[in-house]
Amino acid sequence: MPRTKHPRPTLTLKPPPEWRRGADCHWAINTTVRCQHRCVYCFEGDRHGLKDIPIAETKALLDQAAREVPAVIFMGAEPTLNPQLPELVRYAQSRGLGARISTNAVRLADWDYFLTLARAGLDGIELSFPYPDGTVYSRITRAAPAGFDRLLRALDNIARWKREFGRERSAMINANLVVSRFNVERLDEVLGHLARRLEPGSYVVTCKRLDMAPVLHEESFRRHMYVSLASLRRHLPALADRIKAGVRIGFRDFPLCAIPGLEMHDYDLGYWLNGVRVKQNFFRQDQMVDMYPEEAAQGSHPFDWLCEGCSLGPLCLRRVLFLQADSRPEHTPQPLRGSLPKTLSAWVRRQRRGPEVLAAPRRRTALGWALGELLADGASPSWTPLERGVIQVSDRGRRARLRLRRDGGRWLLESVGRPLPPWATPARDALAARLERLPPPPAGCLPEPPAASSSSTATWAAGQTDPSEEPSAGPRRPRRWDGFVSGLFLERWRAAAGREPGLARGRLEPAGGGVIRACGPAVGDEGEFAVLPRDGARSLGALCGPLRLQPTWLGSGAAGLLWLRAAYAACAALEAGRAWPAVVPRRAGTFLARVWGLFGNALMPRAGASGGLLGGWVCDEGLQLDLIRAAGRPYGILLVPADRAQKPYACGRGVGLQYTMPQGFRDEGRWLAIVDAYARVLGGPRR
């Protein structure tokens, strides 16, 4: 008998979920600001000196949620550090709400604790898991690498919880994978840990785009963590193989051109097209506001003239993520020309608002229209569009930039930064010839957003000769602040580091922009520090005299703390000798200046010292001082303007002092003595 031939099965992408407004709306409720981790890209953690939200206030929010949504998710920072979390889960269940938690999963490694949540009625778990190994875990969380093994045990417990309690309720597991430069090339390793411990189909992986980091200097963020669009387009499509194998993967906060072929798996798009509402109370603990406001669809970004002709434009919500990008080709969007793919178009039309979104009229700016016309026949290898109105011309590694704008009915090209060099003239002439052939822009174009003018640009109009072909003479002089950081301050820092035996053979190097890099002496002993004016742009940093010292990057080696201690010693030497140069701002009357005038060197962290001040950080509210450690976590006081202090312990001279009593701390007398010492300086009443 001849053998029957069966066709070989083919794998297709599993259809994405169909969202439903009523079933998928939920509230994300912040219950505490404490956390065991200090993740470099997280806004939460024990920085703001706030307490756990009183349980009565949280229950009031749950009562409101029961009237609007079917489920809530308890968040933190880290909700499992709130001792009342099991009671809150139980109360949510009693109000008919599904109850989930968003956690770093550290405490879920303890099965006994996990059982208290499970028996209270926990419905789902959203855990952070972007780590391929312990080294990356330590770099992201700034915790010991050994903690990664604890997270793997937590994954085993989550699988056990799903087996033992999932039959009673539809237990949900969602693993959040923040995509950064730490892991973008190792995403499959991260997914491998999940696949080995969780049953197929029992969990969802949500990839999230990292677009900002609150504790990192901008240049450090781009260098160490920001992932270019070109890199995302290389690595994310490989996740389709995991989807084909049955793993449910979604995306959040990505521009759609970063996930070609996977647009239907974008959760932001699915929520928006189906009117799903999510609210959160991260910024005001007593007020719930939209987490994903629809206005994001109208957001602009420096590269948006490229996106005006993109077929994905009506669907792309997260355009503002390009704000963190450098103006280099690898960061620019990749617009989709022509019509939408048939499968994507059909999927959008099935969604609640899909037909309305696709039918909405689209308008373009004159610049966007002109760029679309220039690209209609394909971009030349000699030029590339960058941020709005800027085109980069290149030839054998040389690069120059032209700015395109319209003035009085004519298209103008301007050399950006310096006169156009001779080698770039052919590319400019070719662009000018194409611009001359363009018809006038269509009527009804949107107005151009305002752009800052530059006195260093050389303007050239189509049909004219270039006024100058000579390159600019000599390098630009560094700014005065950069000169101070790479000069006097670096000299004092090197002198202080020379007195640290553990920093022998290490070196400090200026990196420009007020940044200093520390290298060695051993592997992992690197660091990067931004030296900022005290009254400059808002960012975290230790307050050291009239400046802020912000460690934007510390390696895993033992010398990281020594570099920091040497930096503090350099600041102390400058302060003691009154050696701050005129370039350091001394603006009188500001809150930070007043605080420094009252407390002086007592605000300078003493790294490695026992007792006293462990760290000091300028935060949004004021100045956070870490004074002691209890149960592995720092506790301190918060100094804020008196008119903004909430239930202060002491007030005086325009400064309010708040503090939090560590839970379970045995030496309360020593703790209160330190707080009282700071309060006495204010001279006002104490409560």
Concatenated DSSP letters of 39-88: -TT-S-STTS-PPPPPHHHHHHHHHHHHTT-SEEEEESS-GGGSTTHHHH
Alpha helices in 453-547 (DSSP H): 480-484, 490-497
Whether 173 has a pLDDT exceeding 90, the answer reads yes
Co-location of 309 and 385 in the same domain? no
Instruction: Give the C-alpha separation, 414 to 395, whole Å.
Output: 18
Whether 145 has a pLDDT exceeding 50, the answer reads yes
Whether 3 has a pLDDT exceeding 60, the answer reads no
Tell whether 3 is covered by a domain: no
Co-location of 179 and 321 in the same domain? yes
**pLDDT for 283:** 67
Name which of 81, 83, 61, 82 is nearest 72 in CA terms.
61
Co-location of 521 and 412 in the same domain? no
Q: What is the pLDDT of residues 431-448, one digit of tens each?
A: 888 898 899 999 888 888
Q: What is the pLDDT of residues 501-548, one digit of tens each?
A: 888 888 898 877 788 888 877 766 777 888 888 776 555 678 888 888
Mean per-residue pLDDT, 393-406: 88
Secondary structure letter of residue 324 according to DSSP: G
Co-location of 339 and 368 in the same domain? no
Of the three residues 317, 333, 358, the one that is the final residue of a domain is 358
**pLDDT for 366:** 92
Mean per-residue pLDDT, 26-39: 86
| Mean pLDDT over each residue of the chain, to the nearest integer | 81
Q: H or E segment at 358?
A: helix 354-359
Q: What is the pLDDT of residues 282-338, one digit of tens each?
A: 767 777 888 876 555 556 788 889 888 889 988 988 776 787 777 888 888 988 888
Whether 176 has a pLDDT exceeding 60, the answer reads yes
**pLDDT for 253:** 87
Instruction: Give the C-alpha separation, 685 to 687, whole Å.
Output: 7
**pLDDT for 72:** 94
Mean per-residue pLDDT, 196-224: 77
Q: What is the pLDDT of residues 38-58, one digit of tens each?
A: 787 776 643 444 567 888 989
Tell whether 16 is covered by a domain: no
Co-location of 676 and 545 in the same domain? no
**pLDDT for 367:** 92
Count Cα atoms within 13 angstroms, Cβ side, for 679: 19
**pLDDT for 531:** 87
Co-location of 241 and 320 in the same domain? yes
Co-location of 648 and 550 in the same domain? no
Whether 681 has a pLDDT exceeding 70, the answer reads yes
**pLDDT for 455:** 31
Whether 351 has a pLDDT exceeding 50, the answer reads yes
Q: Is 512 helix (H, G, I), strand (E, B) or coil?
A: strand
Asked which of 349-358, 515-524, 652-661 is least confident by mean pLDDT, the reply is 515-524
Whether 453 has a pLDDT exceeding 50, the answer reads no
Tell whether 124 is covered by a domain: yes
Name which of 163, 185, 188, 181 is nearest 173 in CA terms.
163
Co-location of 546 and 643 in the same domain? no
Whether 384 has a pLDDT exceeding 70, the answer reads yes
Tell whether 377 is covered by a domain: yes
Co-location of 99 and 153 in the same domain? yes
Whether 214 has a pLDDT exceeding 60, the answer reads no
Tell whether 52 is covered by a domain: yes
Tell whether 1 is covered by a domain: no
Query: Which of the four pLDDT bands, split at 50, 70 and 90, describes residue 170?
Result: low
**pLDDT for 671:** 79
Which tokens belong to 100?
């989930």
Tell whether 14 is covered by a domain: no
Co-location of 149 and 204 in the same domain? yes
Mean per-residue pLDDT, 20-27: 83
For 60, phi then psi, to 5°, come to -65, -40
Tell whether 467 is covered by a domain: no
Strand segments, DSSP code E, in 389-461 are 390-395, 398-407, 410-415, 458-461
Q: Which residue has the higher pLDDT, 322 or 81?
A: 81
Domain count, the chain: 4
Instruction: Give the C-alpha separation, 409 to 428, whole Å.
Output: 19
Domain of 546 in residue numbering reads as: 477-586
Q: Which residue has the higher pLDDT, 584 or 311?
A: 311
Q: H or E segment at 278?
A: strand 278-280
Whether 246 has a pLDDT exceeding 60, the answer reads yes
Co-location of 374 and 506 in the same domain? no
Q: Which residue has the higher pLDDT, 583 or 211?
A: 583
Of the three residues 358, 377, 392, the one that is the final residue of a domain is 358
Whether 9 has a pLDDT exceeding 90, the answer reads no
Mean per-residue pLDDT, 369-390: 83
Q: Which residue has the higher pLDDT, 500 or 557?
A: 500
Co-location of 285 and 246 in the same domain? yes
Q: Which residue has the higher pLDDT, 160 or 39?
A: 160
Whether 244 has a pLDDT exceeding 50, the answer reads yes
Q: Is 140 helix (H, G, I), strand (E, B) or coil?
A: helix
**pLDDT for 620:** 61
Instruction: Give the C-alpha separation, 35 to 81, whole Å.
Output: 7
Q: Can you give the CATH number for the domain in which 225 is found?
A: 3.20.20.70
Whether 472 has a pLDDT exceeding 80, the answer reads no
